[in-house]
Structure 1
Amino acid sequence: MHAPAPPTTHPPSRTASLALFGLLGFASGLPFFMFTTVLALRLQAHGVGVVVIGFFAWIALLPTMKFLWAPLLDRLSVPGFARFWGQRRGWLMLAQLGIAASLAAMAFTSDDRSLPLTALLATSLAFWTTTLEVAADAWRIILYPGKAAQGPVVAASVWGYRTAMVAAGSGALIVADGQGWTAAYLLIALAALAPFPLLAAMAPEPNARGGRTTALITGIATSIAILLGVALAIAAIGWLLLAAAGALGIGAGSNVTPVVLGLCLIPFVALAIALPYIRRAPADAPIRRSAVTGPYVDIFWRYGTGVLALLAFVSLYRMGDVLALTLAKPLVASLGYSLRAIGIADGAVALGASMLGVAAGGLMAARAPLGRTLALGAILAALGNWGFVWLAHRPPASLALYLATFADQFGNGFAGAAFVVYLSLPVNPRHPGAQYALLSGFAFLLPRLLGGASGSIVAQHGYDRFFLLSGALSLAALPLLPIVVRLRPRPEDA
């Protein structure tokens, strides 16, 4: 990889912008259910226990770690692709190929005879999905600074994201019910690759060098080498983690909840210790000038102790939704609903509810006080979680499943759109990709850590108490709202 080409300075027209970021949101959302809820149902169908299914939820931790490689996307470009289409689109095209390749590999290993291999491929899919999001988020923040500009673009992006999630989850389950898991994953792999030719057909950057065909061939060849390298790195890290878990005695019967809760406290304790040193650091201090640490130190330097409240808020706000996502589909399947019934509910019902929720959340975030919008989003998300408790106490019926699905998806969509707008505001435009990756990654660190223990919680307390807890946690961030909406950054020094 080489230094980036100068970025595009003029955003597309308003209509083109909404369509573009709707497409990017669609491309990011399409694979998500395939390594979360759809994979959970697939594992359940193959007889994997609920505790181990919960462990697979830790794959979704990878997006919370995206700050580890997000700076590379701000500083490097993909050879071939970037020369013609620019830095951001180059990363988007590479990520598209990584997503399609990972999905295809999961399709041909859909019997899940080797759970470590399944975990490796699902982790690869999560990595490339996250990389796509990082590149798209950075581009959005650069092109559209400010709340008023962010609102419509975020709504289009989240709309596309959630449309793809629902379409992938619904389509995959319906196909799996009739044709098997291999066909389901291959279908989504083909759909995931569909945006690639559209990106390749777009106009080149103003400073493009060489021809389109040469750039495409060079970019694909480079991408294959990068994909293989990333797969080997993930395999090596996974082997080390499995060895460490075995040495600690962690297995299918382990109660990991206390350990996870302890791990959740580590980032906050570390930040509290480091903040005084960061606040005193002058502009020429190595930690502020470093290409690796500088973008992250900057946000702590600007917000000081207020960053603890900010990070606590973003960590709690989506807690309920993330926990519910892990085991919502296994719960519904355990109630006697077929894969086809779940797929239909995740189709028209969930898609319509999600689109309405995202549109309402994005519109209100742009026009109303953000604190009020965030509060309403948290309440709607809690009601959506509690809808599963209501569903569990009713005999299987399509209407009941549709009502619970609608409440869950509308609340999730509304809260998600408002939350993305909020996360974009503390970001320094000088470090858009890295800082947004940090905030959005931290937002899901705690819930996804606890998500891995969700199977243990259900095994001990049952689905009822689990979903009552997840709904209550959706409201846990509300006491912090008056603080975070008043936070203002420290003026930058020289």
Structure 2
Amino acid sequence: MTEMPASTAPADWRRHLPPGMRPYAERAPIGALLLGISSGFPFAMIGATLTTRLAEAGIEKKAVTAFALAFLMYNFKFLWAPAIDRVRIPLLANAIGQRRAWLVLVAAAVMAAVAWLGLANPQTSLSTVVAATLCVAFAGATYDIVIDAFRIETLTPEQLGVGSGMSQYGWRIGSSAAGALALVIAERAGWSTAYVAATLFALPAVAAGVLLGEPVRHAVVKSTKRGWAAVSDAVIAPLADFMQRPGAGLVLAFILIHKLGDTVANLSFRLLFNDLGFSKDEVAYYDVAFGLVALLVGVFVGGILYTRLGLKRSVLVSLILMAVSNLSFAALAQAGHSNIGMAAAIGFENFSSGIGGVAVVAYLSALCDLRFTATQFALLSAAASVLGRFVSGTTAGAMIEALGYVQFYLLTTVAALPGILLFVVMMRRGLVDDVAIAARNAAR
């Protein structure tokens, strides 16, 4: 008996749900939720959680913000993404399929790397913390490659909006819950126990693999080339395919700069909270828990906007909101220690990010040629944050010390404006639709 695809399998219980909720109850979007949970947690372990740990250990701001350079591993993941598309893991791939084999293998690697980071002590061996952080970044970036490919190949084109929203829900749930759990446990049992406990967040993606089964590959590229020719074909062909589309250069420029202000601001929040004297419990409640609720509301609103406004206008709205949200942290820095101020700033920022996550991720997913899913999405998602992470890692700490937090956040707001203007130009030239359509036509 032939098994029905995950997206079309009957589920009578869904008929009892409101029509607007039924798409979210399909197996593929639920799987995207689980995949997002595991995708978000490694990021939190080397992001805000590690920033809090290092600041608490008395590490100077320049050194703390330099750890943001580890996130560049996510930006260079396109270099090994072709291996995920083409390499079959012996024995395991034959038993459970190529994508699921990679899910299991990389999940184990992520868990081991996060546990090592937790056991490292920044006060006695900062170099060990650096090495462990890089390992978590590499394993987490690889997990992202597998998860993104699995999600895109499982969702139908009609499910991209809902699936992207569910993926964003999952990502934030994973990063927030893992971060909150780490803060609460660290307060009571120490950072090592906290990090080891958080490794369990790698498992929901494996559960998604069980739920959805091996995705049906929409297009497979077979190459007879060997050696460096094969490597060149695997890396260059996906990039060449993208760059041959109409207006690709302008689209790529937008992807590179649209998150500059948002990324630089986000990677500094925990430094601000530490300097304003917020406790770990306050950060866990307001930044993590309240922030999660705000983001989930934003993702829900983002799904509605995507449905009603379409891709172009929903992306534009999200870009404007994300730029303006940085001003709320300038206000918090000016006001000082204020739980209400922290809740307002975090709430607005996460609400805006939730809307942006749905619209922008759906746009990036639509740009992918299904012959090169893992590689192209790795390239696009990496390009979306590489500039911001580089600026954060090299100059953010020094800018904060030189300008102060208020001027710093005003500057990040200004840095977001070029991306908005460029997207308006793309809309007027019809490039938002044209490049995505070219990707779908190429895969047929």
TM-score by length of 2: 0.85
Name the residue aligned to 1:267: none
- Structure 2 contact 147–205 (Cα < 8 Å) conserved: no
Local SS of the residue matching 1:476: helix
Query: Take 2:281 and 2:369, find their aligned partners in 1: how far apart are those partners?
Result: 46
Amino acid paired to 1:192: F
Name the residue aligned to 1:419: 360
**Relative to structure 1, is the Cα distance of residues 483 and 424 closer, same or farther in structure 2, using a 3 angstrom cutoff?**
farther
Deviations 1:411-433 (A, max 9, x none): 11211221101111222121111
Aligned partner of 1:444 among 385, 393, 410: 385
TM-superposed CA distance for 1:442, in Å, is: 0.8
Name the residue aligned to 2:220: none
- Structure 1 contact 169–346 (Cα < 8 Å) conserved: no
**Relative to structure 1, is the Cα distance of residues 323 and 290 closer, same or farther in structure 2, using a 3 angstrom cutoff?**
same
Name the residue aligned to 2:118: 107
**Relative to structure 1, is the Cα distance of residues 347 and 326 closer, same or farther in structure 2, using a 3 angstrom cutoff?**
closer
1:37 equivalenced with 2:48 (yes/no)? yes
TM-superposed CA distance for 1:455, in Å, is: 0.8
Amino acid paired to 1:386: L
Name the residue aligned to 1:25: 36
Query: Take 1:29 and 1:203, find their aligned partners in 2: how far apart are those partners?
Result: 20
Aligned partner of 1:192 among 196, 201, 216: 201
Deviations 1:212-259 (A, max 9, x none): xxxxxxxxxxxxxxxxxxxxxxxxxxxxxxxxxxxxxxxxxxxxxxxx
- Structure 1 contact 9–143 (Cα < 8 Å) conserved: no
Local SS of the residue matching 2:234: coil
TM-superposed CA distance for 1:343, in Å, is: 0.9
1:431 equivalenced with 2:372 (yes/no)? yes
Aligned partner of 2:65 among 42, 54, 63: 54
**Relative to structure 1, is the Cα distance of residues 310 and 180 closer, same or farther in structure 2, using a 3 angstrom cutoff?**
same
Name the residue aligned to 2:13: none
Query: Take 1:375 and 1:203, find their aligned partners in 2: how far apart are those partners?
Result: 33
1:330 equivalenced with 2:340 (yes/no)? no
**Relative to structure 1, is the Cα distance of residues 465 and 395 closer, same or farther in structure 2, using a 3 angstrom cutoff?**
closer
1:63 equivalenced with 2:74 (yes/no)? yes
Name the residue aligned to 2:15: none
Corresponding residue pairs, total: 405
- Structure 1 contact 287–294 (Cα < 8 Å) conserved: no
Deviates more, 1:291-300 or 1:78-87: 78-87
Deviations 1:14-67 (A, max 9, x none): 621121110000011012111011111111111111111111101011111111
Name the residue aligned to 1:94: 105
Query: Take 1:404 and 1:444, find their aligned partners in 2: how far apart are those partners?
Result: 22
TM-superposed CA distance for 1:205, in Å, is: 5.3
Aligned partner of 2:160 among 150, 153, 174: 150
Percent identity at matched positions? 30
Aligned residue runs from structure 1 range 14-413, under 5 A = 15-146=26-157, 148-189=158-199, 191-195=200-204, 198=207, 202=211, 290-303=233-246, 306-413=247-354
- Structure 2 contact 97–214 (Cα < 8 Å) conserved: yes
Query: Take 2:74 and 2:290, find their aligned partners in 1: how far apart are those partners?
Result: 27
- Structure 1 contact 322–447 (Cα < 8 Å) conserved: yes
- Structure 1 consecutive aligned stretches of length 4 or more whose deviation exceeds 4 Å: 199-207, 286-289, 489-494
- Structure 2 contact 287–342 (Cα < 8 Å) conserved: no
Name the residue aligned to 2:420: 478
Aligned partner of 1:459 among 373, 397, 401: 401
Query: Take 2:233 and 2:41, find their aligned partners in 1: how far apart are those partners?
Result: 35
Amino acid paired to 1:478: I
Query: Take 2:211 and 2:385, find their aligned partners in 1: how far apart are those partners?
Result: 33
Deviations 1:347-391 (A, max 9, x none): 331111010111222332244232211121122212321111111
**Relative to structure 1, is the Cα distance of residues 105 and 353 closer, same or farther in structure 2, using a 3 angstrom cutoff?**
same
Could you say what the CA RMSD is over the residues aligned between the two structures, in angstroms?
2.6
TM-superposed CA distance for 1:395, in Å, is: 4.0
- The answer for unaligned runs of 5 or more in structure 2 is 10-22, 217-228
Aligned partner of 1:10 among 5, 23, 41: 5
- Structure 2 contact 31–211 (Cα < 8 Å) conserved: no
Query: Take 1:136 and 1:176, find their aligned partners in 2: how far apart are those partners?
Result: 29
**Relative to structure 1, is the Cα distance of residues 117 and 16 closer, same or farther in structure 2, using a 3 angstrom cutoff?**
same
- Structure 2 contact 399–408 (Cα < 8 Å) conserved: yes
Query: Take 2:75 and 2:403, find their aligned partners in 1: how far apart are those partners?
Result: 28
Local SS of the residue matching 1:396: coil
Amino acid paired to 2:152: I
**Relative to structure 1, is the Cα distance of residues 202 and 429 closer, same or farther in structure 2, using a 3 angstrom cutoff?**
closer
Local SS of the residue matching 2:235: coil
Amino acid paired to 2:38: A
Amino acid paired to 1:456: A
